[in-house]
Chain A
Amino acid sequence: MDKKYSAYLCTGCGIGDAVDMEALSGVVSSEMNMECKTHQALCSADGRTLIDADINDSGINTVVIGACSPRVMQDEFDFGDDKITIRANLREQVAWSNPADADKEYVQEQASDYMRMGCTQAQKSELPDPFQLEEGTNKKILVMGGGVAGLTAANEAAAAGYEVTLVEKSDILGGKAVNWRQSFPTKAPWTDMETPIVNDLIQAVQDSDKITVKTATEVARTSGAPGNYNVTYKQAGTKSEWDAPAKVGVDEQDAIDKGTMEDPNAGLKHYMDDNPEGEKFGAVIMATGWTPADVSEYEHLGVASQNVVTNAEFEKMAGQGKIVRPSDGKPVESVAFVQSPGGAEHDKDFPYCNSVTSLVALKQAKYVREDNPNGKAYILYQHMRTPGSMELFYKAAQNDDGIFLTKANVMKVEEGADGSLSVEAEDTLLNENLSLNVDMVVLAAGMVPTTKDANVVNLAYRQGPSLIDLDLFDGYADSHFICFPYETRRTGVYACGGVRKATTVDETIDDATGAALKAIQCFESADRGVSVHPRSGDKTYPEFFMQRCTQCKRCTEECPFGAIDDDEKGTPLPNPTRCRRCGTCMGACPERIIGFKDYNVDMIGSMVKAIEVPDDDEDKLRFVVFVCENDAYPAIDMAAMRRLGISNLVRIIPVRCLGSVNMVWIKDAMSAGMDGAMLLGCQYGDDYQCHFVKGSELADKRMVNIAETMGSLGLEVERVAVTQVAINEYHKIPEIINEFVEEIVEMGPNPFKGF
């Protein structure tokens, strides 16, 4: 594209009061060689007409707007896909961040730098050229798991017009729910239990001409990428040469090559081998469900007795007919539902219980009452969780004369000679210790996600077959439950139902519907060549200048989403449809050969260099802050809206993710004589908030290295810093930035200034 530039400055919203606009316009036109026009309200219809006229009459196609934050007025300053629009944030970061009595000279320099950076960014930006899969986009959906979640996902996807293949490990569809006697109420008055819906779901799947069902089948491996997955099946429970290979790191490969380690993938096809027999899919829905938790460790609860069962076992018994005591077949008259392990760890629940086990106990207590008019069901809980309308179900159960509820710490369950059980409980609501005599005890075992101990998805990826870091989520297939439901660490793989959270049938149905929509969204986005999440609609993607690649494998290792495979030599093989456009690979590459059309190492480096650093003024220090656009940048805008005040020695550069910060920018800044550089991003670690999961963490590690390098050059390591901030912590922004500035002001200017 032949670029024709024009810059526009807005004097509204207080910008004109804070800055000498004529002088600023002069900087743009003389230094940056761009025509520059000024208007009192660029976002108004009148302002827009001014710009549109230039676009139409003079063929302007690259517009620099010096006005408000790029986070606002996006429609007003949208000039179409064929134009490049760059926004310099003069309002929030200059006019609104300086107090009224700020030194005009400093403010003017600040505004000038933002325009210099904006114009540089415009010069270095290219129009994106969306990625397209060579083979075209496959729009079929693979659903793994034939329980309520899988059936629902399949039905919903089919209803939306997509082809689905549903793979179920066992011989029949329906999962656990086929054995249930009844399920929770799903509609007003929320008191009546319902016939499990699972048979209807199975029927619908079987009736659909868009859904292919494969029972007794497992997925051996899934290779490829969204829009172009290649899935190899195998008979359930068997081994296959196409089983997904385990991850082999660089060091392990060395060991294998030397013969000091056994190859875990011996006999298996290489992860990059393509099975011509495989079936192609666009996206994968993971609905592999859960298994009942193992509670055999709780010896004090009498687990050795036949008459002590888990809720899952009890449900199965109830599904088969009248409940009888396992030891002697006596019709059950009284049952104690033990909801928490009790004993020493009395406030804990059984693992993986969530609120579901509370509801299950209420439901099963009702069975006891249904089966026997004199039946007695005791529910001994530490926590009774009945969210939403389920409170009404709880009330209904509570209202039953034969259901007895109390908070209690169960100390001991013992079997008597006749098979009946005595249950001892302390700390009850009855203010006394209780001793119950019951026919059976039911333990509220939780729902363990199938991903806890198995790979399940079996991806043939460079980074290994499983979803990673699930230990942060107790094994649930999750990557960021609150911000990004359904998302896993692998684009194109969407989890729903019990594998994601201990859910009720009702919740599972919602969940599976959502996952089906995410799967569709994924390959439809891929089809349009745009990113799906979280930078939805981004047309750029990382491009590699392979000629200069040294096969260092940093990008393949560090991509948080396993988007990059490699060949035998280690040359990266990027999969843009797996990619989330975080730029972590770009930050990682020591050769600086990875970049996006509108965001690359050269561009940001040039922007850093565009900042004017006075080399003869002790007071005019300069700081660059690379700010993650997901949380930190909006937080700075919010701080500005509240006029909290940020030092005007600071120049802010937004980045996609701290992971994308290439350390060369820090070096650029320091060698340009700047006095300090800071990275401001999201929290990382166990409770990470990082939108790209690992970016912030990797940036921190890289900064430690750069600080060491600086130290060896004789520069104070304090001149570089990484700080974490959440979007709602805007009030901390001035403190974070200004303290950093003050510390370095005290330290004095960069000793290499001017060299």
Chain B
Amino acid sequence: MTMKVDPDMSFIKYLKSAGGDTLKNCYQCATCSVVCPLSKDGSPFPRKEMILAQWGMKDKLIGDVNTMLCHNCGDCNTYCPRGAKPGEVLGAIRAYAYTHYGFPQGLAKLASDGKNLPILIGIPAAIVLVLWLISGGMHMPEGPVDFGNFFGHWDFHWLTKTTFFIDIIFLPAAAFSLFAAYKGVSAMWNKMSESLEISSDFSPSAKQFTLEFLWPAIKETVQHKRFNECGTNVDRVKGHLPLLLAFIGLLLVTGYSFVRKDFLGLIYPNLHGPIPLYDPFKLLANISAVALLVGVAILWANRKKMEADGKAAPTFYDWFLIWEIAAVGITGLGAELLRWADFGVLAYLAYYLHLVSIFMLFFYMPYTKFAHMVYRTFAMAFEKYRESSFVQKESS
């Protein structure tokens, strides 16, 4: 196959600014390909990706499965004799790809630049604030602090006012974010498929796809199998795993809470109150919250150390996610503590910030580093797909 060369110089510039500043150092020795667990015979990854990046071959890279699969173990960074830090370069390519696939583009671009941070915080802050105002709940309720009364109280006993407002904020936001992620991931999938040159005649059914490709990918992710094989950044798993488990825990709690309040609550109104402490789900929620805080603290420290050691450049892309998660954890914990301490105003304010930060985390998910959650999982699914008989049949 002949490749038309038309280097995209702005792509090179972007990569250099987004943590890949060392990209041009690579002199193609392929040491990285020897150490990288993803590299296979005949596919010198990430050596080839390095020269593609040097040559500004944007199109080739954003559809490169391996680039998406790289879990930034850092082994290549350690062994590269030229300090080209391929792992960091790939990170920058991924950051570029998330923005590139991001839907809608305007929002994706907005979320990719630290300069926009005030707007990024401003949007959810305003939405929650406006709804808080509209709800009329913005006054000091009677009695002990109860976030169940954050958006005020009504007597419609099937659904509390707060739950209703939370729903109207987060349900559309979540739906939007999921849709955006779906759009992004399918764009990526199409791009990746291009390189395989296969027709759609052999596409798997939705069920096949889920069972054979997606589910194993999810399983592998949760087990953190590849992470444990890391040499250089093996410490990272100490932060990443608690964080991942925390998110799963909180997801379960949220699901439980949603079912309990929005469905069961319709039948048993007494379920509307705060979940009692002894409830196993409440326990899970608290453990998850602690895990989240511990996890993000470890990642924060790791990142700082890497930067101090010159192993990584500080980028908005990396820090935004850490800040977001830290904000969720800290505001959540703060609100809880202030509630127990019964510092009314402060507790509600903290809760407000908590809602804002959660909104940010999920609303911007498809465009931030958080997006790796979906892109990587689907890239793994793609890898399994690529190795499956659907593709093999076609190319043989």
Contact = CB atoms under 8 A, between A and B. Distances in A.
B358 interface: no
Nearest to B1: A432
A29 B394 CA distance: 100
Contacts of A407: 28
Contact of A376 (B7, B24, B27): B7
Interface string A390-434: 000001001111101111000000000000000010000111111
B90 to A, nearest CB: 16
B55 A374 contact: no
B51 A432 contact: no
Given A399-B24, A401-B9, A404-B54, A430 B1 contact: no
Contacts of B9: 374, 376, 401-402
A407 B48 CA distance: 13
Contacts of B6: 437
Contacts of B157: none
B2 A432 contact: yes
A408 to B, nearest CB: 11
B226 interface: no
Contacts of B55: 404, 406, 430
B25 interface: yes
A272 interface: no
Contact of A434 (B5, B25, B44, B48): B5
Most buried by B among A374, A378, A405, A424: A405
Given A401-B12, A404-B55, A433 B1 contact: yes
Contacts of B7: 376, 402, 404
Interface residues of B, number: 23
B80 to A, nearest CB: 14
A401 B13 contact: yes
A3 to B, nearest CB: 69
B48 A430 contact: yes
Nearest to B27: A398
B4 interface: yes
A720 to B, nearest CB: 55
A435 interface: yes
A430 B24 contact: no
A436 interface: yes
Contacts of B1: 432-433
Nearest to A424: B2
A431 B1 CA distance: 10
Interface string A9-37: 00000000000000000000000000000
A640 B5 CA distance: 65
A361 to B, nearest CB: 15
A431 B48 contact: yes
B51 A435 contact: no
A582 B56 CA distance: 63
Given A395-B25, A404-B7, A431 B44 contact: yes
Interface in A23-78: none
A556 to B, nearest CB: 56
Given A432-B1, A433-B1, A435-B4, A401 B51 contact: no
B165 to A, nearest CB: 51
Contacts, number: 56
For B5, B12, B28, the residue with the greatest tally of chain A CB atoms inside 10 Å of its CB is B5
Given A395-B25, A398-B24, A398-B27, A435 B2 contact: yes
B4 to A, nearest CB: 5
Nearest to B16: A401
A299 B143 CA distance: 93
Contacts of A436: 5
Interface residues of A, number: 23
Interface in A640-689: none
A193 to B, nearest CB: 18
A378 B51 CA distance: 13
A399 B27 CA distance: 10
Nearest to B82: A395
B52 interface: yes
B4 A430 contact: no
Nearest to A384: B27
Task: Report whether over half of chain B's contact residues are helix, strand or loop; otherwise say mixed.
Answer: mixed
Interface in A379-395: 395
Interface in B1-55: 1-7, 9, 12-13, 16, 24-25, 27-28, 44, 48, 51-52, 54-55
Given A376-B7, A399-B24, A401-B24, A430 B2 contact: no
B24 A400 contact: yes
Contacts of B51: 406, 429-430
A395 B3 CA distance: 26
Given A374-B9, A406-B51, A433 B3 contact: yes
Contact of A399 (B4, B25, B44, B57): B25
Residue of A374, A378, A430 with highest tally of chain B CB at under 10 A: A430
A429 B4 contact: no
A407 B52 CA distance: 13
A598 B49 CA distance: 72
A144 B6 CA distance: 49
Given A398-B27, A399-B25, A401-B12, A433 B2 contact: yes
A399 B12 CA distance: 11
Nearest to A375: B9
Nearest to A405: B54
Contacts of B12: 401
Contacts of B28: 407, 429
B3 A432 contact: yes
Interface in B302-337: none
A335 to B, nearest CB: 13
A435 B48 CA distance: 17
A729 B396 CA distance: 58
A434 B2 CA distance: 5
A370 to B, nearest CB: 16
Contacts of B54: 404-405
A430 B16 CA distance: 20
Contact of B52 (A400, A430, A437): A430
Contact of A430 (B3, B13, B25, B27): B3
Nearest to B22: A399
A436 B24 CA distance: 20
A532 B2 CA distance: 61
Contacts of A399: 24-25
Nearest to A396: B24
Contacts of A433: 1-3
Most buried by A among B7, B25, B56: B7
A431 B44 CA distance: 9
Given A399-B24, A404-B54, A378 B44 contact: no
Interface of B: 1-7, 9, 12-13, 16, 24-25, 27-28, 44, 48, 51-52, 54-57
12 contacts: A398-B24, A398-B25, A429-B28, A429-B48, A432-B1, A432-B2, A433-B1, A433-B2, A434-B5, A435-B4, A437-B4, A437-B5
Given A404-B5, A404-B55, 14 more contacts: A395-B25, A406-B55, A424-B2, A429-B28, A430-B48, A430-B51, A430-B52, A432-B2, A432-B3, A433-B2, A433-B3, A434-B2, A435-B2, A437-B5
3 residue pairs, one from A and one from B, having the closest CB atoms:
A433-B2, A399-B24, A432-B3
Interface of A: 374, 376, 378, 395, 398-402, 404-407, 424, 429-437
